[in-house]
Structures are given as structure tokens and as C-alpha cells.
Structure 1
Amino acid sequence: MSGNWKVNPVEISFYRTLVDVSPVGTALHKLIRNEYGKAVDYEFLYVNKAFEEQTGLKNQDISEKRVTEVLPDLEKGTFSWLRMYEDLFNHGETVSFEQYSHPLNRWYRVTAKAFDASCFVTYFVDITSEKQVISDRDTMLITLNHIVFEIDENFIHTNVLTENESHLFLPKEEIIGLSVRELLPLALAKPFEETMLKSKRTGQTEMLQYESPLPGDDRYFRAEIRYGQFVTGRKWVASIRDVSAEVKAEQERLDYQDRIYHQRRRMEYILEGTNAGTWEWDMISNRVTVNERWAEMKGYRFEDVDTFDMGWFLSLIHPEDHEALSRKLARVNEGSMPVYEIEMRIRHQKGHYIWIEARGKILERSENGEPILMSGTHLDITKRKVEEIEREMEREQFKTTLLSIGDGVITTDAAGRVTMMNRMAESTTGWQLHEAKNRKIEEVFKLVHADSGEEIASPVQMAIESQAKVELGEDIQLIKKSGEKCFVHDSVAPIYSGEGILTGTVIVFRDISEKYEQVKQIRYLSDHDQLTGMYNRHYYERIMMEIEKNPPANLSVIVADVNGLKLANDGFGHQFGDRLLEETGRILENEIRSGEIVARIGGDEFVILLPGVNEKEAKKRMETLHEKLNKGKVDDIYLSVSLGFSSLDPSDSHIEEVFKRAEDRMYRKKIDESRAMRESTIEILLKKLKLSEGYHSDHAERVVTFSVEIGKGLDMSAEELEDLRLASIMHDIGLVSVDPALLIKPVSSLTEEEKVKLQKHPETGYQLLRTSTEFSRIADIVLCHQEQMDGSGYPRGITAGQIPLESRIINTARFMDRALSYRNESKEKVVEDLKRAAGTTMDQDVVRQAISILS
């Protein structure tokens, strides 16, 4: 990234971790422009785990690659991702949109934000399931209704759904955007709007039946209008169905009743319905006479079949319908049934079967009661039967789908009794369908609050009473038949018949126990420090924002900072430093009271929020804490923690000002307390080194003696001799970080890796001493005490004048002691060795003084 940003690596790691565990897919990109400044591509810089899960693209595979390498087909559609992101830089800093990705075969809701001249971040939410739900809804609406209009609160049409746009009297795109009064004649628009307002007022589905407003169109329509809150906002949904057949049937029924009073009984049946095929059966001659519609219905010319033998007609009936027809005819003939009605199949002249609704009645009987004349009608119901069969197939297919999907599904009747369960529902609840059927849903699907264990009101009853979808949260548990509990997420929706009558409910749910625990763990980690288990900065800042909205009358803040943490890490290792932090956190948490909050907000910094505590009480609490903290101990090291406090003042414009004052007071105390802590720790480190196996404490004493004698011979000042003495004492302090086993191991048997570890001790000593005011002036001497005049030493390989005189003296003194005390060499041999080293690895003046000491 470009720009002069100054970032803290710890903060980068912290926020990088937050992004990694975020459930929102996140990707960092860089826009690539050509020499003319036009965007030609963009590359992936980084993606988080949620992005990997949602897209299947792994960070390790796509990082620093261009999108055209990763998704070569991305720009082949009509939508250009590249143009969208280029516009982000040209016209604004943030853009949001929904788009389908053909290469990934998924829908995404995308928010992109530019934060540099060429870099931008995108947040991806997979909405494929949401889009599928909308598509399924539209399909179901279209299946149940010829036309569905969505109308906003300004009476403007926002969407039109239909299985066939030829049903519309205007193209769909012309309807969208028109108001009700712009689309319909005023005589129809006015009652339509009144019905819409009534639906909004009552909260119920309202009906409006009307005649087609188009000239020459005698069809009737019924509008079912409902107002409510939907995914896209509050609006009306008007479902329009052609009810011409129903209106016509009703009119025919009224006409028939009128004819009852004015026509003879025989003419009523013969002339009933202009669309019916009529027939009359002379049961003595066994001849049948029919009208033109009867012949047309079966595909025959009227003149060919106006009269025929009854046996020929019976041969046209589908074999599977013969028995049912025979039973009904027998009952009519014997007088136990006045009129027979049957739906049956008759073979068409072209060879296929059509469905007819047949009715018949005895018109005359002989003196002894035998039937001699029967008449009736045939109606072609093929279309209706095909639709019924298709609907039944759809219902069976839908039922099969519900039985096989991965979610649990339970359906109930309008009284809340179980009617169906799929296998997943049986597995999750522990109930089998044959056990649960007809039981109240509350007995089979019992829900409780996870925290309190209190039973939850039946969502089924809520859906029935509200006649709306009910969705419960994630902190809900299902009590299985066995008594076990599992976390579930469920939703309940009412089921309506085609006439808008509530017939039952459907419950869709899933066991989210595993997901719930994962979410719970993520929530915990996002709010807690991993080392101490205390609340972290993220939680502290959220609480401070809440307090900012409604500050209490009294609020105090105590800020605590562990002194010498880096020195402890360098000298005793990071595990020891972690123990110091853990012990500090333990003491702080033991001292807080109910309603108070303690959090670790930095590497060595803690904060305590004290709601309801005034300044006087806060000062006492801080003094008590300081006393207990500084009595705390890890091994031989006492805790040293600096504290500062502050209380809310009426003049404070922000709560953060309280924290800032407390932090400033803490830092003023830390100046003295931290210095004392560092010097005390160094003393302890030196003692630890002297007690280490493999380290000879008398070696340091002899090095001090030789060094001071050489320094005196070189006419060093008293101050210089004191620094030389201290440096001689401390020259090996860096060995505290080395494994004691290496100190007792012969140099000749050390591996290269072990030698490297040993040779780091001057640097460690330097790091330890430079933090102390008392010892910082000798830090460079200790750092260079293993350097050689010819550059063959370590750790930096410097030469001659770059090496402090004190370091050269200590180097020579160490050589003398090791030769005399460890290798038991004679003084004469040591003198010879010193002469050979003078001017090469050792300083000539220093060697001259060393030889004078040995002579």
C-alpha cells in the first residue's frame, strides 16, 4: 500500500486476526491501470477464511494474482466487475450492489470501499439461498395465480409476476412504474384503492371481484389483496385470478333454478347448460339420442351419431371406469339414488381419452316401476382433471422434496396437530411420524430458552393467531423425546388454501448445536484476551461506547501497566513474561466487585472500569490495588505495576477523557517505578547466572581483577575504571538466556547451532543493560567484549577502533583467566600467546600491560 502510514505491527496482527475470524467474506484488492490510467484488471492481495468458504477460492492460491488469471470468464457477461470497481475510484469511496457470479455460480451482496489511490476492500455476503427463496416464492405465486402485482405505499406498481405475459393487457415493463389510477380506468381504480386501504387497515386479505375493463372482454377477475412487511419493505401484494368460470357457473346455477319454476322437468335436464352434451336413453329400444355438443365433445359429426345403440356408447368407456358407472346406474334404476353423477373417461374419436362429468336421471317408469326413459348431460372436464392431476403431482413432488431436504420439516393442521414429519425432523426430535401424528405440536416440538430453561410460547400458535411467518432466535433449545436438548433455529409459516383459508402451518428447523458452540467460541475469543482470559480491548471499547450513550452519575477508571516486561522477556524468556501478566490479571480480577470490569487492553496495560465509584473511593481502591499487586511474586521476581486513576468530571465532553487522565498519571509514576524494577531485575539476573550450573562465578571476579589492573596501567580515570569494573562483572550476564547444559559442554563438542546460541549472549546482555539507567552506559562495552581487533570476533565482527577500549581490556582479561585457571597453562606460555595475539586479535597496549602483570 502507498501512503506514509505509520502502523503498529501488534495492531496489524490484532485487526488481521479479527478479519480472519469475521463471518463476512472480505477481500483486499489492488486496481491495475494501463499507461493511460484506464483500469484493465485488479489483483487479489488478501482474502479471509469466510471469503474462502463462500467462493471456494483459497488465499494461498490467489494472493498476488490477477482476477483474470483466477476467474478468466468473470468479465464475459453483461455485468462488468472491473467497470464497477473503476467507478468506485472515479465517483465515490463506497459502493454496494447485488450481482450473480457466473464462474462461481453464486449470488453475492457486495460492498466495496476505496482507501487508497489504487487499493480497495470488498465485503461479500453469499445471498444465493435468499435469491432462491425469492425465486421459489415467485414460482409458487405464479403457480397459484395468473397474475401477481406488487404495489408500494404510493400505489405504484413495483413488480409483476405471471407465468405468461400474454395474460397482461400491457407489457410488464410498461406496467412497472405506473400508479393504480394510471393503469386502470377510474371506475375500477377507485374501488381497487379502497380495497387496498381496507387491507392495510384490517391487516387481512381483502377481495375485490370485477369485470374486465377491456372492451369486448367478458371475463371476470378476483383480486386478493394483502398488505404487510416483506423482505423488500412494506407493500401490497395483489393476486389476480380469472374467475369467469366460477361466475359463469354461479350464473348457470341461478338460471337453472329459474327454469325449475318455468319449464317441465324433462326440458330442464335436456336444455341444462349450453355447453353440455345432452342425451336421452330409450331403455326399451336401447337407443340413445344426443345433441350436437355431445357429438362434438367426442370428436364425431352430429349426423353420424345423433342416434346410436347404448352398447356402442358403453364400449367407449375406459375399462377402469366401467364398474363404477354400472353401480351408479343400478342404484338409479332401483330408485335408491335420484340422480347419478360420475367423472369418467371416454375414448375420443381420435383414440385418446377425455374426462367427462356425467349426470343422469330416470324421467319415466312403467306402471310396475321399471325405468323406461333416462336423460342426462356430459360436460368435458378434461382440462380441469389435467390441472388437478398436475397439482397433485406438484403436491407429491413438494412433499417428496420436504421429506428429503436436510432441514427438519413438520406440518400441522389448523388446530396445531402434527400431520407430517420428514426424516430429519424424526431424527432431530426423536419422534417417529406414526407416534407424533395427530398430537399437539407443543408435545412433539417443545422449545425452551437456553439460558433460563423457561418454556417458549408455541411458534405454531403464534403463526396461526398472527397469520404471519414467525422466526425464533438462535438461543433456543429443543427438548427431544429422550429429554436431551439441542440448539435449533426454526421458522413457522401459515399454510393457506386457494381460497385464502388457513389450513395449517409448516415448521422448518435445523439442529445448530455445533454452529452455536462455534459462534459462542468466536464471540468469546472476540471479547477475551487469549493469554489471561480477561476481557480485551475490543470488549472494553464496546462497553465505553455504551457508557458514552448513557453515562452514570459517577464513573472512575484505573489504568495499570506492568513494569519491566520486556526486560523479563529478554532475561527469563517470554513464558516468564506471560506468567507476570497472568499473575497481574489474577490479582486484578480478584479485587473487582460486581458490575465492575477489568480488561487487558495492550501488551502490558490493563484498565478497570468502576461505575458508581467517585474520585475519593477510586483513589482508595487504586492504593489497595497497588499494594496487593506489588506483593505479587512470580518465582523470585516481585511484580512491579504502575497505576493511575481518574473520575468523570462534569466538564468532560467524552468518556475517553477520563481514561486519558488516568493513563497520564500512570505514566508519570511509571518513570520512577519502572527504573527501579529494571535495576532490581538485573541484580536478580546476575545472581541467577552465578548460581547456574556450568558458570564459574570466580571467573568474573578474576576478570574484574585483571581488567582493573590493566586499566590502571593504561592511566584510565577513576570514572573509567568504575565502568570497566561494572562491565567486567556484567560481561557474561547474557548467558542467563542460554541453556545451562551448553555451559558445561566442551567447546569442541558444540554443534554449529549450539555455537550460534552461545554467541548471542553479548547481544542479550546489551539488551538487558541498555534499559537500565544505572547500567546503560556499560551496555556497549558488554556488547563488544567478544570482538577481535582483526574483525574475527562476534557478534558484529567489528575491528580495531570500533571496539571500545574497555571491551578490548575485558577480552584480554578473559583470555588470561581461561589460560591460567581453566587450562592450567604456565605464565610463560600465556605471555608467549599474548605476544602472538598483540596487534592481530588483541590490542598491543592492552597486551603490554597484561604481560607486565604476569611478569
Structure 2
Amino acid sequence: MREPSLILTSRTYLLRSSKMIKDSAKEGIGKEMKPLILSFLHNGYRLEETHPDYRKTYLLNISFLIITVTCLSFAILNLFLDEYLENPWHLVGAALLCVFTLRYFHQTNNIQRSSELLIGILILTLLSYFYVVQNKNYGLYWMAGLPPITYFLLGGRKARKISTVFFACIILFIWINYDQWGPSEFNSQSMLNIAGSTLGILFLVGFYERSRKEAADALIRANETLKENTEDLQLILDTAGEGIFGLDMQGVCTFCNARGLELLGYVNESELIGRKIYPLVYALSADSKPVPPEECRILQTVTTRKNAHSDQEAFRRADGSLLEVEYYSYPKYKNDQIAGAVVTFIDITHRKHTEKQIEYLSSHDLLTGLLNRQRLDQELLNCDCPEFLPLSIVYGDLDGLKLTNDIFGHTAGDDFLRKAAEILTFGRQASDILARVGGDEFVWIMPHTSAAAAAERMHTAKSRLESAGTMNIRCSISMGSATKTHVDEDLIQIYQNAENAMYRNKTARKKGYERAALKDMTDLLHKRSIHGEMHDKNTGYLCECMARALNWPDALVKNLRDAGYYHDIGKIVLRPELLNKTSALTSTEEYEKQQHPIVGYRIMNLFDHTLDLADAVYSHHEKWDGSGYPKGLKGVEIPIQSRIIALAEQYDHLRHRLMQAALNPEEAIQRLERLSGIHYDPDLIPIFAEVARAFEQEPGDHSQ
């Protein structure tokens, strides 16, 4: 036996090591190691806490560790106590078997097999140990550790069987060898055996008790969670956006949530519970037709055990009114037996209304209320039958819509379209079909209408449209028609013939319409502006005189005169009060007024016979020094026509201004000369002065 001092030295070393571990824990190592240790003891938390084997995993790992540590501890202790064991290698072998089995357990997570292997290793270790030590040093104490471990890991039934067999073998061995044994010596080895076995059992019982307490706590938490879930379920049921009610096998209501009561118009759940759902709630289809009990889909859910769904039916509210609903009915099971049904439903009254609106919009033009192109294609197929012959198709295209949009804006254009649709609808017969098929195109299908009758109705519609006095632009329409008189004629070809006839009519009328539309706009501007007509005529004539003084050819002379006459056509978009305002303009009004050259440019570009005038009209407010608008051109960048118009219109303005006293001819010329090289072309000023003096000598009207 080694010296006691060696044991004390080892104890001192262990105490120092323990102190070092405690110091490390204070520094945070323990906090980092604890989660790793717990994860190891629970096999990486592969099982949920509520799993039956969750805590057995914990106990099994602890048992592996206790047995491994105990075997290795006594094998190492044998180095210090030479007489303790003659051959400690069976303990080392048992520790290695525990390590291998522990690894197998962590890889497979097979609790039952690993527990059986551990008990087997423990039995072999204890039997081999008992065989070696027999009755020496109270080694029999270690045998008491088998029953609790077996009970904890394999359960009471297997533990009783294994323990009985194990102790039967021990008793048999004792009975065979009893005569050879002497009294057991009580020494330090005996104390180690007694202390080690006792501590091992205490550790196991302690861990088992901790596991049992955790299980009890988990059960308490599970019950609390169940209670919370029940309350949450009731809360969800009562706060759900859908109405929900249940019924039993006889169709009697068993519950109804708060939203369901609200939708059905009931105050308390007791008003529904215990009463048959049919016919109290469910009895009518969406079109108010009674639904027989055998066709009630909700009741069929109970008998057929199949889900049911409908969005074409209605429930009856408490006050007798109907509620359009979409519902789902599901069979309810209890212990694998049908126990009734659960119905969820929502109010789809608004959705049904929206669907009707969508259906209307899918077949009608939103702006005019007429049928759209998609619906017209269907109607053409429906009308292609002998009973509708003769069938006339009229294709119309509004004149002036683009002009209205470009000049007065799309709001005015929309009014134009609505007015035109209203006038065309006024002349429609009951069997007619009228549709808007494009931006400004309309199609009119006239069943039982001959070509002559269609032509007469076209003429009537045109006359009504052109006589409408509410438009800013002349309201007119180009129309063409074609008639199907025989069954074998292709209606699509008839449709195309009507469209081609319309385009021929539009082409023939284009030049006349453009001139008439421009005259209408000019007349409207002159009607709104106090001195607008005289100013435009004077400006145009002065421009003509300047062109002749510059020896321009006749074509350019006419071009410049027209540009001077139409130079303010863009003011058609201005309000009359702004047109004739005599006081100073605000910054907003000034900006608004400065847009008229741009509008005038757009108007001139809309007509073939005024395209050449657009640039001159656009730049007539530019100034020689670049301070004009709308682009800030300077010098010769400004078209010469625009420079001449600027002189002519300013001279006439000085001679007939409203805000201040008018100037006489010489005063007006001097004002222009002072701005020579600043606002006006210095080369044109002398020529214009002579033209203006000659102009003042000419009596009479200077209109075109």
C-alpha cells in the first residue's frame, strides 16, 4: 500500500484543481460550458420536451457517465493502492464499452437498445468485480446499484426480472464460496467501496428525482399551456373575421361565434344554440328561392361526410332579411366518428355588388355607357341570323375629338364624347345595338333596317350632332354604312364595308371640316375678346404690307398675313375674364397667358392648310435680346416671320391699348425704335416704320 502522504498530496491537487475550476467559472467559462453539457446530456435536444423519452435520454447519459467515471476512477486508484485489485483491466474494459455504447446512442438515438446494452455492461462489470473481490473490503455494496438503474431505464417489470436473476446468481456464488471466505476487513478500501456505491446510488436517485420534478413541472406547464390554448382558441373564435357555427347530427346549432351572431343579427348565442339551423338560418338560395331540406348542402355534409362550399346562396337574418354569403361546411369528427358539422361563412354582399359592376364594366364603355368592343363582337355573332335581316351596320368617327383634346384638354374631350353618345343614343331604336369601339369611333347595328332607312337615320343623327351648341369645337361625325340582305353574305365583310365607307366620307369631308373648325375657333375667340378681331385683322394686314415691302413672293406674303391673323389663336383656351383684364396680371395669370403661343402652335399643326404657320405663331413673343418666351430665342434664331409679327402686333397694341391711353402713330413708332436691338430686329424697324405710316393713311377694313 502506498504512503498516506501520497493520498493527501492527491487530495491537495484535487482541491487546487477544484479552486481553479471555480475561478474559471467566475470568469465566464462555466456559462459557456453549461449549454454544451446540457445539449450533450439531451442528445442535442433531438426530442421535444413533451416526448415520453425526453427525460430517459437525460438519465441514460448520466448513467453512462457515472458508470464510466466510476470504473475509470477505481482503475486509476488501483495505481495508488496496489493491493486493491489484482487485475483492474476489466474496469477499463467496462469503461470503454460504456464509451462505445454512448457513442452508438448519440448516433442512433435508440434509447431502448442503448439502455439494454448499458444494463448488460453493468451486470458483467459487477459480476466480474464480485468474482475478483468476493467478500473482501465490502465490495458487495456495489451490487446494490443495479436495481435502481435497471428500474429507471427499463421500467419496473424488466427491473424485477433482471434483479431477481442477478441476485440469484450472487446468492448462488456466495453459497458455493461461503466456506472459503473469512471475515471481511474494514479498511480504507472498504470505506471507498461503501462511499462509492452509496454516492453512485445517491447520484442516480438525485438525477432521477430531478428528472421527475422536471416532468412534473413540464406537466404543469403543459396544463397551463392547454388552458391558455383553450382560451386563445375561444378568443380566436370570437375575433375571427368569418362567422362560425356548429351543428350536431340532427342539424341543431351547438355554438356560434361573435362574428356569426353579428352577421346574422342575433344578440346572444342562446338565441341560436339548441335550434335547428334549417330553416332558421339556411333556407334560401341567392335568388330567394326556397331550398328543400334534401338539397341543403350544410345538412348534406353530415350525411355524406363531404365538404360543401357555395357562394350562390343566402342566409336569413334574425329580422328576416337575406344575407348573401359564401360558406364552407366541414364534417366534424369525434373519436373517428362523425359528430356534426362546422360552418364558416362571410358576408359577400359588397363583393356581389362589385362583381356586377365588374361584369358591367367588362362589357360597357366607362365614359359613355355604351357597349364596348368586346361586347360588340359577341353581339355581332348573335345578330348574324336570318330573323334580323335586313341588317345594317353604321360606322361613325367623330370629327374634332383630337382637336378638342389637344386644345381644351381631355376633360373637354370626354364631355365631347359623352354628348355625342347621348345624341346617338337618342336616335336608337329598341332593337339597335350601339357601341364605342375606339377613341372616337362608334358602331351602330340596326336589325330589320334597309340601306335607305339606315341612310336616313344616319342623316338625322348627323344633323342633331352638328346642331348641338354646347361644344367649343364644331361637333360633326363622319359615317358610313353597309347592309346585309342575304343569309350567305359575310357579316364581318359587311362590317368592314361600313368602316371603309366611313373613311371615304371622312377623307372627303376633311378639308372642309378643318377650315370650318378653324373659323369656328377664330369666331369664338373674337366673340370672347373685346378687340380681338380688329387686332388680328390689323396685325395680319401689317404683316402683309411688310412682306410686300421686303419683295417677298405672293405665296410667302399670304403665308405671313395668315400667320399674323392667327397669331393669337392659342388664346382660345384662356378664360374671357383673363382675355379682357385691364389691370395688372398676377404671376399665375401671366404664366397662364404666356402659354398661348404653345397652344397656337399645336392648333396650327392640326390642320393641313396651316402647318406652314406653326413656327411663326410659336415664336412671335420671342425678343431680339433673348428675354422673350416660350424658348428664349435671340437674334436671327427667331424666324423672320415671327420678328415681323412681333412688330405688327405690338404696334397695333400701342395704338389701341386698353390699360393705358392709346398712342398716336408717331409715338408708337418711336416706342418701337427705342426698343430696336433689344426687343425687335434693328434691321426691320426702319422698314416697319414706313409701312406703319402708310398703313395709317389707308382707310377702311383690313380684313382678309
Match of 2:655 in 1: 820
Q: Distance in 1 between matches of 2:301 and 2:376?
A: 37
Aligned with 1:775: secondary structure? helix
Distance 1:709 1:814 in 2: 13
Moved more, 723-732 or 620-629: 620-629
Match runs of 1:315-326 below 5 Å: none
Q: CA deviation at 1:582?
A: 0.6
Tell me the alpha carbon deviations over residues 406-453 of structure 1, each in whole angstroms, 9 at most, x when there is no partner.
322233333433343333222222244433344332332145444x43
Structure 2 CA distance for partners of 1:606 and 1:438, relative to 1, 3 Å: same
* Worse-superposed segment, 837-846 or 812-821: 837-846
In 2, are the aligned partners of 1:571 and 1:685 still within 8 Å (CA)?
no
Q: Which residue of 1 aligns with 2:317?
A: 480
Tell me if 1:600 matches 2:433. Answer: no
Asked if 2 retains the 8 angstrom alpha-carbon contact of 1:640 and 1:674, the reply is no
Q: Which residue of 2 aligns with 1:544?
A: 377
SS at match of 1:559: strand
1:764 matched to which residue of 2?
599
Structure 2: distance between partners of 1:829 and 1:620: 63
- Structure 2 match to 1:782: 617
Q: Find the aligned partners of 1:647 and 1:463 in 2 and give their Cα distance.
A: 58
Structure 1 residues 543, 566: closer, same or farther in 2, change over 3 A? closer
Residue 640 of structure 1 pairs with residue 476 of structure 2: yes
CA distance in 1, matches of 2:641, 2:258: 85
Counterpart of 1:472 in 2: which secondary structure?
Answer: strand
1:422 aligns with 257
User: 1:421–1:549: structure 2 CA closer, same or farther, 3 Å change rule?
Assistant: same
- How far the C-alpha of 1:551 sits from its partner, in A, is 6.0
How does 1:393-472 map onto structure 2 within 5 Å? 405-431=240-266, 432-450=268-286, 452-457=287-292, 458-463=296-301, 466-472=304-310
* Matched AA of 1:468: K
CA distance in structure 2 between the aligned counterparts of 1:396 and 1:798, rounded to whole angstroms: 79
Say if 2:363 and 2:375, in contact at 8 Å, map to a contact too: no
In 2 relative to 1, CA 591–481 (structure 1 residues): closer, same or farther, beyond 3 Å?
Answer: farther
The separation in 2 between residues aligned to 1:844 and 1:420, in whole angstroms, is 97
Deviation string for 1:500-519 (max 9, x for gaps)?
6x653332212223444444
2:687 to 843, 846, 849: 849
Say yes or no: does 1:491 pair with 2:359: no
Q: 1:832 aligns with which of 670, 679, 684?
A: 670
AA matched with 1:682:
L
Shift in CA distance, 401/757, structure 1 to aligned 2, threshold 3 Å: closer
Residues 781-827 of structure 1, C-alpha deviations (whole Å, 9 max, x = no match): 32233234454433334455554544333222222222333353344
Shift in Å, 1:682: 1.9
Deviation of the 1:697 alpha carbon: 3.2
Asked if 2 retains the 8 angstrom alpha-carbon contact of 1:694 and 1:741, the reply is: no
The alignment's C-alpha RMSD in Å is: 4.4
Match of 2:590 in 1: 755
Q: Report whether the alignment pairs 1:506 with 2:342.
A: yes
> Are 1:794 and 2:623 counterparts?
no
- Percent identical across equivalent pairs? 27
* Alpha-carbon distance between aligned partners in 2 of 1:589 and 1:551, rounded to the nearest angstrom: 22
Name the CA distance, whole Å, in 2 between partners of 1:396 and 1:752: 68
Q: Unpaired runs of 5+ in structure 2?
A: 1-155, 162-225, 695-704
Structure 2 CA distance, aligned partners of 1:800 and 1:396? 86
Distance 1:394 1:790 in 2: 84
Distance in 2 separating the partners of 1:833 and 1:550: 74
Cα pair distance change 1:774/1:456, threshold 3 Å: farther
Tell me which residue corresponds to 2:401: 565
**Does 2:570 match 1:734?**
yes
CA distance in 2, matches of 1:678, 1:393: 81
Query: Which secondary structure does the structure 2 equivalent of 1:634 belong to?
Result: coil
Q: Distance in 2 between matches of 1:396 and 1:758?
A: 71
| Residue in 1 that maps onto 2:63 | none
Q: Distance in 2 between matches of 1:577 and 1:611?
A: 31
Are 2:416 and 1:580 equivalent residues in the alignment? Answer: yes
Secondary structure in structure 1 of the residue aligned to 2:608: coil
**Secondary structure of 1:460's partner?**
helix
Question: Deviation at 1:639?
Answer: 2.2
Distance of aligned partners of 1:400 and 1:826 in 2 relative to their CA distance in 1, 3 Å threshold: closer
Shift of 1:667: 2.3
Unaligned runs of 5+ in 1: 1-295, 302-390
- Whichever residue aligns with residue 605 of structure 2, its letter is R
Are the aligned partners of 2:539 and 2:645 in contact in 1 as well (CA < 8 Å)?
yes
Task: Report SS of the residue matched to 1:411.
Answer: strand
SS in 2 for 1:406: coil
With normalisation by structure 2, the TM-score equals 0.56
Q: Is this contact kept in 2: 1:494–1:505, CA < 8 A?
A: yes
Instruction: Summarize the alignment of residues 337-352 of structure 1 with structure 2, pairs less than 5 Å apart.
Output: none
Contact 2:655 2:663 in 1 (8 A): yes
Supply the distance in 2 between the matched residues of 1:670 and 1:447 (Cα, whole angstroms): 61
Partner Cα distance (1:569, 1:397) in 2: 61
Residues 404 and 570 from structure 1, CA distance in 2 versus in 1: closer, same or farther, beyond 3 angstroms? closer
CA-to-partner distance for each residue in 1:670-698, whole Å, 9 max, x for gaps?
22334433322222222222222565433
Q: Please say if residues 651 and 668 of structure 2, whose CA atoms lie closer than 8 Å, have aligned partners that are also in contact.
A: yes
- Distance in 2 of aligned mates of 1:433 and 1:803: 85
**Letter of the aligned partner of 1:851 in structure 2?**
A
Distance 1:565 1:616, change over 3 A: same
Partner amino acid for 2:594?
Q
Shift of 1:498: 5.2
Distance in 2, matches of 1:590 and 1:471, equals 46
The equivalent residue for 1:725 is 561
Post-superposition Cα deviations, 1:635-663, rounded to whole Å, max 9, x if no partner, equal 4655212223456798899x866654443
Alignment of 1:687 with 2:523, yes or no, is yes
- Give 1:490 shift: 1.2
User: After superposition, where does 1:593-672 map in structure 2 within 5 Å?
Assistant: 593=429, 597-608=433-444, 622-635=458-471, 637-646=473-482, 659-672=495-508
- Higher RCO, 1 or 2 (CA under 8 Å, sep at least 6)? 2
Q: CA deviation at 1:604?
A: 1.9
Between the two proteins, the alignment pairs up a number of residues equal to 465
- Give the AA of the match of 2:689: I
> Is the CA contact 1:689–1:733 (under 8 Å) kept in the aligned structure 2?
yes
Residues 501-540 of structure 1 mapped to structure 2, 5 A cutoff = 503-536=339-372, 540=373
The change in CA–CA distance for 1:494 and 1:608 in structure 2 (over 3 A counts) is: farther
Distance 2:275 2:566 in 1: 85
Any idea what SS the aligned residue of 2:288 has?
A: coil
Letter in 1 for 2:279: E
- Deviations 1:255-295, CA, capped at 9 Å, x for gaps: xxxxxxxxxxxxxxxxxxxxxxxxxxxxxxxxxxxxxxxxx
Higher Rg of the two aligned structures = 2
Once residues 573 and 375 of structure 2 are traced to their aligned partners in structure 1, the CA distance between those partners, rounded to angstroms, is: 40
- Matched-pair contact (CA < 8 Å) for 2:315–2:323: yes
C-alpha separation in 2, matches of 1:834 and 1:499: 105
Structure 1 CA distance for aligned equivalents of residues 447 and 404 of structure 2: 34
Using the alignment, how far apart are the partners of 1:783 and 1:646 within structure 2? 44
TM-score (norm 1): 0.47
The one-letter amino acid paired with 2:328 is S
By how many angstroms is 1:840 displaced?
5.6
Q: Higher strand proportion, which one?
A: 1
Distance 1:830 1:592, change over 3 A: closer
**1:830 partner letter:** A
